[in-house]
Structures are given as structure tokens and as C-alpha cells.
Amino acid sequence: MKLPVIKHLTQFIEDNDEDYIVETIETLEALTEVSSLKDEELDVIGELISNMYGAIEVHKMTKEGTPKKEALNSFMSRVLGSIDK
């Protein structure tokens, strides 16, 4: 996951609508079923999906009143914490 990408996508959600991201995730998930995709291509799609889910999570936290910067940092801390385990 990349914080600048999540930050950008979070801003996109604020400017537009979360539904665009949800529909994009659904589209990308459907693409992963294409049997001719290479591992590298699947990795890229997976990274995009992860960043989009991260942006949705950060957006949810900001809607609950958490300042955006704090929500981004908290989310990334949780991600990094789960990787270390």
C-alpha cells in the first residue's frame, strides 16, 4: 500500500462518491479471474485493490470525525503493525 495513493483516492471519494471506488474494485476483482494474466499483472491489480480498500477505510474514519491526517497515519500504522506480526 502506498500512502500517497490512498491519500489521493480518499480525496477522490470526498470530491465524488465512494460508489465509484467500490465499482472499480468490483471490476478489478472480476479481472483477476482472467486466466491469461501474468503474476506481475495480478500483483498490480492486487495493489490497486488494496489501496482502494484503504482509501475507503480512511474515508470512513474521517466521516466518523477523525482528522484526515490522523486517519491516514492510523490506518498505515495498523497495516504496518499487521505486517510485522
Tens digits of residue pLDDT in 39-54: 999 999 999 999 999 9
pTM value is 0.88
Q: Give the pLDDT confidence score for residue 24 in this predicted structure.
A: 98
Identify residue 83 by its one-letter amino acid code: I
Q: Give the pLDDT confidence score for residue 80 in this predicted structure.
A: 77
Q: Give the pLDDT confidence score for residue 52 in this predicted structure.
A: 97
For residues 31 and 34, what is the distance between their CA atoms, to the nearest angstrom?
A: 6
C-alpha distance from residue 56 to each of 7, 12, 28, 36 (Å): 10, 10, 16, 29
**Residue ranges, the chain, pLDDT below 70:** 83-85
